[in-house]
Structure 1
């Protein structure tokens, strides 16, 4: 009979964020990877797609933790400023200009991050 004992961390402590897992996979050295789905390159000209590792959910949760539940789409909020800064940096990059962003991937775990 198979053991039902979980030897890993409690499930509620494992990050659910897709951004977290993709970033972790891309940051892991190639020699330590096993059955990976992505390969990291250091020259964007060699990339088929460009993953933008912005943790939008975490940014939104930081506002919620401060008790600012009505922060969505408000230009004065820190969440808005963080998201705008990311967009400005990415849109001004040579990688974005190469394809007008058509090859860029943003991963958003929950719809709350879209505001």
Structure 2
């Protein structure tokens, strides 16, 4: 299975670090969720450098860490996932990546319905 190239505008180093994480299902809840994510820094989620070109993170419904890599998709979209084409059902779509905040959602509609849209707020 061919994998997509890495996006030019986001490096894996932008993802590595300690993050407070929260999620929302309705856009009206986004601001509250951003504050909740910042509050989670007392128990941060750590995104570490992988052995290859990726980062170590969990996937939907699995407690094990996996190495996931950045992938450039059609229409300028950016994905994070396994070695597979960009936009694979197991991928996360990175909706926005800023120095202090990442917004992401699972591509799989069922996983997205259960988990919502994630806000990762950089700790420290």
Q: Same fold (TM over 0.5)?
A: no
Greater share of helix: 1
Give me the TM-score of the superposition, normalised by structure 1: 0.24
Structure scoring higher RCO (CA < 8 A, sep ≥ 6) equals 1
Larger Rg: 1
TM-score where L is the length of structure 2? 0.23
